[in-house]
């Protein structure tokens, strides 16, 4: 089966990971295409850098209302991956404050999101708790 990442910065394979664009002038990191750095304004250029696969949950919200067809509740979070802030859903845990907490350690995981008529599978990412029993 052919797999394609849902976003350009997700690299699939034996060890899936994210790749950020790092400003050559100030080292700020971004996940989208840039002509200039939003942090320092430099147009010097960007390098691709691999983002740490593990991190710490620094902010989150439990989403209870979403677009039709999107299952709720789910946890949308901000994860500090060794200095790089990454937005992603917190998966493989209950979506409630008893199972999700600030400072919890998480790791990158991938999941299938759907398959088209040609058999190509779209793959997304999220973060799952490293620790069990986070209460």
pLDDT in tens, 36-85: 999 999 999 999 999 999 999 999 999 999 999 889 999 999 999 999 99
Residue 46 lies in a domain: yes
CA pair distance 64, 49, nearest whole angstrom: 34
pLDDT at 102 over 70: yes
Residue 31 lies in a domain: yes
CA pair distance 124, 113, nearest whole angstrom: 6
pTM for this model (two decimals): 0.90
Residue 135 lies in a domain: no
Domain count, the chain: 1
Residue 13 lies in a domain: yes
Residue 124 lies in a domain: yes
Residue 14 lies in a domain: yes
Residue 134 lies in a domain: no
């Amino acid at each position: 089966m052919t797999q394609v990442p849902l976003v350009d910065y997700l690299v699939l394979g034996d060890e899936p990971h994210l790749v950020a664009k790092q400003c050559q002038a100030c080292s700020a990191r971004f996940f989208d295409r840039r002509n200039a750095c939003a942090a320092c304004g430099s147009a010097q250029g960007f390098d691709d850098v691999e983002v740490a696969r593990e991190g710490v949950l620094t902010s989150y919200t439990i989403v209870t209302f979403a677009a039709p067809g999107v299952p709720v509740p789910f946890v949308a979070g901000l994860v500090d991956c060794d200095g790089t802030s990454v937005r992603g859903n917190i998966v493989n845990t209950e979506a409630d404050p008893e199972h999700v907490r600030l400072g919890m350690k998480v790791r990158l995981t991938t999941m299938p999101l759907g398959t088209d008529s040609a058999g190509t599978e779209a793959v997304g990412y999220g973060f799952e708790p490293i620790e069990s029993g986070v209460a």
